[in-house]
Structure 1
Amino acid sequence: MKIDSKEFEKAYKLISSLLPATPLIKNDWLSRKYEANVFLKLESLQPVGSFKLRGAANKIYNLSDEEKKKGVVAVSAGNHAQGVAWAAQKLGVEATIIMPKPSPIIKILNTESLGAKVILEGDNVDESFQFLKHYLEENDKVLVHPFHDPLVIAGQGTIGHELKNQIDNIDYLFGAIGGGGLMAGVGQTTRELFPNAKIIGTQASGASSMAKSLQQGKLVPGESVATFADGIKVKEPNKEMYGLLDDIIDEAVHIPDDQTALALLELMEQARIVTEGAGAIALAAFNELYNRNPRQFKNKNIVLIICGGNIDINLVDRIIEKGLLESHRRIKIDLLLDDRPGSLYEFTRLVKDMGGNILQVTHERNAPYLELQESIVEAVLETKGREHAELILEEISKHFKTAQRSFLFNKSTK
């Protein structure tokens, strides 16, 4: 599958007539942290909260009148669904969306609110596609594929044309890979418009078959999918999409969910931006590569595509908690105390004197594994970060019999 640059230009002409360009903002906090010029391309501010309506609109607007009468069908975990529903509603085209059963309720409701019929089938996108085959045997609809379609890819590539009008030079471009439509499209236009830019694609480690394929130079079958970034939760790499990305992507990485959660938390706190996992993973990938070699990014122009903001509100508190644990601003400790008056006070005073905050404490005296003169305390502490947490734990270990630390997540985070 090859896409001529003229197709991207035609798509840009169409999309720019339908939608205003999404903002490209320089974030001062991230720029100071990384000693670079860090820009955020806010696709999360699209009418449906995702870049996906670009490709969906380009596909549906290019259908013949006969095809529009048939109606369209799409498979999606949420963002592509809303993009298809939005574009179909604009044109008065009937839309049916097949979504995995575990899809976030908010994405299901939003899709239905745009006039689409939603069918819930399968436990993941791949299983929903299996159902699609049977559906199309009985229903004469036009498929709007989320990524494996030249018109859809050309639509996603319009981001590159917008960037050309918003920034003079790009040194590094980071974006998420699910099926690959976003980076195949914006990667090609960026490569043409910013020839010296390095293009980095990233997946979640729990759904990383395409990233591993690009790293190894051959198709690597997916084993399982497990990530809170549902927008890029794709199990199997598509052969043609792999071929496109292999020609475009300079480097592919995959990122654990805890690091993506930390990036999401940083975007909320420091950029005042609410995003979903697939949107935050671009920052997580940049952070990963920066930690490997900070010098390569010094004073460079870094563009992070914040590709979506449709986060399941029921997950927000858990993701924030995970981000706090990953940054060591929240730690859990277990320690043994002498079972005597004042011992718990000594512990709490020490934490206070060290500038920590006790969020939760459990004091147990009757556990079967304790000696008669012992008690155990389990506490959750709030700290200023890794160094502060280490100082508190070091001081605790000097004064109590046992002090075990449990950061619960990856302790190698810088």
Structure 2
Amino acid sequence: MTVKHSQAYVQTPLIESPYLSAINGCNVYLKLENTQPSGSFKLRGLGTLVSQRVNSSPKVHFFTSSGGNAGLAVATAARSYQKPCTVVVPSTTKQAMIRRLEKLGAEVIVHGNQWSEADRYLREELMTSTPDNVDAVYCHPFDDPVVWEGHSTMVDEIASQLNAKPDAVILSVGGGGLYNGVIKGMERNGWLDSVPVIAVETEGAPTLHKSIEAGKNIVLPEIKTVATSLGAAYVTKTTLDNAMNKSQTKSVLVTDKEATSAVYQFADDHKFVIEPACGAALAIGYEDKLKGLVDLKPTSNVVVIVCGGCAVPVDQLASMKP
């Protein structure tokens, strides 16, 4: 049984982490986006897109090309509105993820060896062949202003829950969707000029970091990281503009080992299983890197966006133990 909602996503908790607070000598809060129904923050933005288009036609059909958290978000949102959803995934997608998508009611098609091939097939062949009376809605995993607007709502929640302006916000960056949304929300709440954003990537997927260094958008020739959800070959143009011109953004790299160690430690401390992509942001706290990035006092409040992710089976946790 499914229930129709006015929105697909839910308000998530903001809790203090006594463990990270002790390590860093300040108040560290966790925005638990991993508790979204789809398992990650992606449901905010993509759920917003689905909700805006769900009544555009009696025969609306949602399409996306992500075999990861974006695919789960679109499938979850479409299911909540009882609308059809098709997800095209590359052949590298794990069977467990395909089964998860199918359990949500999505039609799953495997095509190509990488995301770009799956996405091209979806847009140029599959969607163009739908019947004329079907409103085929394309859901890009991260490069869409509507998606960013959805993600920005978490900042409104943080403002209400913390009842104060944070002294820093830490988040992971892949293609830039989450980052763009947080910047948008910070701008709306008047934080942009005074609250630094720590934008974290792994050393094997430094797309934003390299783009900032070059002063222009670059495309990574290859990605080598266990944090596969951060493996975007490029960031959006808006992401680079936000980082260089609109905010106090500090781009930071962590190692794969630091990211996976944070996954294990977070599971031990807070009893949540997350992806290494999310562990990258938490590694800033667990590795005591904050002091070198922002001026902190014992009364300072730092918010970490726990973006979530469903790509790590529980039986893999032991291999991530520091």
> What is the TM-score with the length of structure 1 in the denominator?
0.68
Q: Which residue of 2 aligns with 1:252?
A: 251
Q: Which residue of 2 aligns with 1:172?
A: 168
Spell out the pairing of 1:89-100 with structure 2 (5 A cutoff): 89-100=79-90
Q: From 137, 145, 162, give the equivalent of 2:157.
A: 162
User: Deviations 1:147-184 (Å, cap 9, x if unpaired)?
Assistant: 11111111111110110111022111011111111110
CA distance in 2: counterparts of 1:67 and 1:149, whole angstroms? 21
- The letter for the 2-side match of 1:187 is I
Q: Which residue of 2 aligns with 1:412?
A: none
- The letter for the 2-side match of 1:305 is I
Q: Is the CA contact (8 Å cut-off) linking 1:174 and 1:199 kept in structure 2?
A: yes
Q: Please state whether the residue corresponding to 1:311 is helix, strand or coil.
A: coil
Q: Please state whether the residue corresponding to 2:263 is helix, strand or coil.
A: helix
Q: Which residue of 2 aligns with 1:74?
A: 64
> What is the TM-score with the length of structure 2 in the denominator?
0.86
Q: Which residue of 2 aligns with 1:139?
A: 130
The answer to whether residue 266 in structure 2 is matched with residue 267 in structure 1 is yes
Q: Which residue of 2 aligns with 1:308?
A: 308
- The letter for the 2-side match of 1:148 is D
- The letter for the 1-side match of 2:178 is L
Q: Is the CA contact (8 Å cut-off) linking 2:62 and 2:84 kept in structure 1?
A: yes
User: Deviations 1:172-224 (Å, cap 9, x if unpaired)?
Assistant: 10111111111100222124325221112122222222232134321122111
User: Deviations 1:100-132 (Å, cap 9, x if unpaired)?
Assistant: 222233322221111111112233323322333
Spell out the pairing of 1:118-129 with structure 2 (5 A cutoff): 118-129=108-119
Q: Is the CA contact (8 Å cut-off) linking 2:203 and 2:255 kept in structure 1?
A: yes
CA distance in 2: counterparts of 1:192 and 1:65, whole angstroms? 28
Following TM superposition, by how much is the alpha carbon of 1:240 offset from its aligned partner in structure 2, in angstroms? Answer: 4.1
- Say what the alpha-carbon RMSD is for the aligned residues: 2.5
Sequence identity (%):
28
- The letter for the 2-side match of 1:127 is E
CA distance in 2: counterparts of 1:295 and 1:66, whole angstroms? 46
CA distance in 2: counterparts of 1:54 and 1:68, whole angstroms? 24
Q: From 230, 233, 236, give the equivalent of 1:232.
A: 230
Q: 1:30 to 1:155 in 2, by over 3 A?
A: same
The answer to whether residue 73 in structure 2 is matched with residue 83 in structure 1 is yes
- The letter for the 2-side match of 1:161 is D
Count of residues paired in the alignment: 308
Q: 1:104 to 1:159 in 2, by over 3 A?
A: farther
Following TM superposition, by how much is the alpha carbon of 1:265 offset from its aligned partner in structure 2, in angstroms? Answer: 1.6
Q: Which structure has the larger Rg?
A: 1
Runs ≥4 residues deviating over 4 A: 286-289
The answer to whether residue 183 in structure 2 is matched with residue 187 in structure 1 is yes
User: Deviations 1:344-398 (Å, cap 9, x if unpaired)?
Assistant: xxxxxxxxxxxxxxxxxxxxxxxxxxxxxxxxxxxxxxxxxxxxxxxxxxxxxxx
CA distance in 1: counterparts of 2:293 and 2:233, whole angstroms? 32
Following TM superposition, by how much is the alpha carbon of 1:249 offset from its aligned partner in structure 2, in angstroms? Answer: 5.5
Following TM superposition, by how much is the alpha carbon of 1:34 offset from its aligned partner in structure 2, in angstroms? Answer: 1.0
Spell out the pairing of 1:92-111 with structure 2 (5 A cutoff): 92-111=82-101
Following TM superposition, by how much is the alpha carbon of 1:248 offset from its aligned partner in structure 2, in angstroms? Answer: 3.7
Structure 2: 5+ residue stretches without partners: none
CA distance in 2: counterparts of 1:245 and 1:267, whole angstroms? 28
Q: 1:158 to 1:291 in 2, by over 3 A?
A: closer
Following TM superposition, by how much is the alpha carbon of 1:72 offset from its aligned partner in structure 2, in angstroms? Answer: 1.3
